[in-house]
Structure 1
């Protein structure tokens, strides 16, 4: 009797898993797409759809990942650095041999929204199909038209460098079952059209959670939605309305301006976010940017409480103040005001208070360049100070910045700087300075 019950339970469990896999892996929503015309066929796409599709491609920042540095647009070859190895992006031009020239619109829909190649192989979630699944049929129709309009480029993708067991594509069945929600975007009826549009762009084409939501050990999103995440030695900050770590002290207009120009009177986009602004958000229309800002400002976020700041007379703060005066004040100003549109302000800036201060350490050690946009072409840069400042001085000045002018954050330790200096292969200080 006991064996019969256990066998029955096993059958129920297996059947449940099978049903879940079937539902999760269903691509029936993509059957709306045409399955005859191929990308490289001579029938020209509709010009109006091509124009709108180009805008959808900008929303999704497609060119950023599918274009290698110095390479041809959309021809692939960009190495996406992940904790599991390098995933090289593929050629999505309509070339028949190396691109998607022999794909139909339905093949394209299934790849974008369900992570399945034409040959049935599963894509890795470095391709954010878990976000793109929310994109509408209309947007995907237009995006397909735009892809068909591109000039074909013959360029075979490089092999990925994932180690075992991450190189087993079949394992994505389990990953999808755990972390992929196979569902289209559903508007929230009690929210405004503007809020829903903002959420659609943030969660869908914009795939903001890919960087700004923390990940678990398997690379799946945690429940801390848009509350900041470690990002390959850096940190993607919280972008909710949280007062301490998020956008709580930004107005909606400041959010819009930052996404449009790459800067506002508080922050300057650089690094990965600078690339996102340069290739994507600066080209979004003002209405979409305003809707994104409205949505992000509506999110309560983590509710992180600010720690007690360090006293100004603490030895590390006094040392940091001296380093700041001789190395930083000329650009960032006496009280951390910065220079609007060019140099980030430090005063009451949530970007200074991120956990660990990884981005600040990297900026001091390696320098950086602000985003260059059509409406803000200056793109000021910051030099590296690795050659000049030792680990203790860098830790002190960053601790000072993180605990001055309305900021409060844990101290940066010299050991953190030393570790980052090695990882970034930054210069060592010149002796005798």
Structure 2
């Protein structure tokens, strides 16, 4: 409670200070032009442009957020949980009353690039404009043409679920001043075409940093160094570090491993589950091979990471490791192997697994408790899944087996305690 009160006070103070500075500079939010878009109707109906936009919308995983379970595609309604309250995703079909039917391309570009709504209102960064600002104008036009080609669905927006002071949009001026840098991706001439394409997809339309980066108490991403991993706010999953070099989360992975995971949901080094399974199912499996390899090229360039700090806790893990070894032999070894090696193409290895070794242990705990479910993809239409053990194992057993897995073979991650398991035992999968 004290921590939340401190955050609220900090937000308000930052809003007052930065708003004052902005006002003294003569800053004003320019009104959105009511003039018709320069883009004519024939351009927006070009089949080639629409097809390009459909592909790019899949790359950006737009349907995942803008479609509620059981609802019409792109009609909005899915509620996005944040530490500050719930934010419903809007309808982006071309319905004139509840969607984008009356929007011009300039309105759409302003939202995607500048994080501002049709009437100049500041958008909440649950819409990832902090990454989408890097998307090129040509790609944005293609996405808009595709969205305008959809059948309109009349679905009014759900009410915003933010409490004070987060429901005061003017406070976003302070947040944006701290965390938002507007600008289209600029290619690095010293890098290859494939590297630049991968960087554009990862940093921009793919918005990978939105999950694979730590966030502070105000929800701002810490982007330097890039893609070091972070706990996904309000979802209780950890998106691992994406460096493929020494001590990185994907150390030892090959380009083909990255392509296989993104295309099929499974590779020789690991399996997509949790939020990443949805990303693979709805987005990356539909990407072109050259784009997937471009992403891998970019990830290969991420720098090595420092060695994780050595666990100097006086806690004696020998009893818990002995208990964990017994649980592992009884429940896990048949699939994952006596040495955590897994079975290629079927069961993921646990030795050297980035989701096992991530700092918090959340992913391993949740997989043991709730099961691990790989996505169904065109390349892996009948994936093997891991059953949940929440009913078979008590908190002590779960803590023991997760600690055993995190400290065996090549793994040297920190131990897990019963209190950690209790926290995530009843956390829903989504």
Note whether the superposition's TM-score is higher than 0.5.
Answer: yes
> What residue number does 2:51 align with?
51
Instruction: Deviation per CA, 1:306-335: give whole Å up to 9, x if none.
Output: 74799x992222211110011111221222
Q: 1:381: Cα distance to partner?
A: 1.8
Answer yes or no: is the 8 Å Cα contact 1:245–1:354 preserved in 2.
no
Deviation at 1:266, TM superposition (A): 1.8
Q: Does 1:409 align with 2:413?
A: yes
Contact 1:215 1:221 in 2 (8 A): yes
Q: Distance in 1 between matches of 2:412 and 2:200?
A: 34
C-alpha distance in structure 2 between counterparts of 1:205 and 1:273, whole Å: 16
> Which runs of no fewer than 5 residues in structure 1 stay unpaired?
1-12, 426-433
Q: Distance in 1 between matches of 2:241 and 2:160?
A: 30
Whether 1:285 and 2:285 are equivalent positions in the alignment is no
Shift of 1:14: 8.7
Partner of 1:326 in structure 2?
330
User: Shift in Å at residue 18 of structure 1?
Assistant: 4.5
Higher-Rg structure is: 1
- Which residue of structure 1 lines up, in the alignment, with residue 269 of structure 2? 266
The corresponding residue for 1:339 is 343
Name the CA distance, whole Å, in 1 between partners of 2:107 and 2:185. Answer: 20
Residue 257 of structure 1 aligns with which residue?
A: 260
Q: Are 1:361 and 1:417, in contact at CA under 8 Å, matched by a contact in 2?
A: yes
Match for residue 360 of structure 1 among 341, 360, 364: 364
Residue equivalent to 2:229: 228
Q: Which residue of 1 aligns with 2:37?
A: 35
Quote the offset at 1:107 in angstroms: 0.6
State the aligned residue count.
408
Classify 1:19/1:381 alpha carbon distance in 2 versus 1 (closer, same or farther; 3 Å).
farther
Moved over 4 A (4+): 13-16, 18-23, 25-28, 41-44, 422-425
1:57-90 superposed Cα distances (whole Å, 9 cap, x missing partner)? 0111100100001111000001111111111000
Provide the rounded CA distance (Å) in 2 between the counterparts of 1:45 and 1:402: 54
- Secondary structure of 2:361's counterpart equals helix
**RMSD of aligned alpha carbons:** 2.8
Residue in 2 that maps onto 1:428: none
TM-score normalised by L of structure 2: 0.88
Corresponding residue SS for 1:355:
coil
Structure 1 residues 92 and 59: CA distance shift in structure 2, 3 A: same
**Normalized against structure 1, the TM-score is what?**
0.88
CA distance in 1, matches of 2:144, 2:211: 25
Report what 1:385 is aligned to: 389
SS of 2:363's partner is: helix
Q: Is the 8 A contact 1:268 1:371 kept in 2?
A: no
Question: Does the 8 Å contact 2:113/2:183 carry over to 1?
Answer: no
Give the distance between the partners of 1:88 and 1:14, measured in 2 at CA: 27
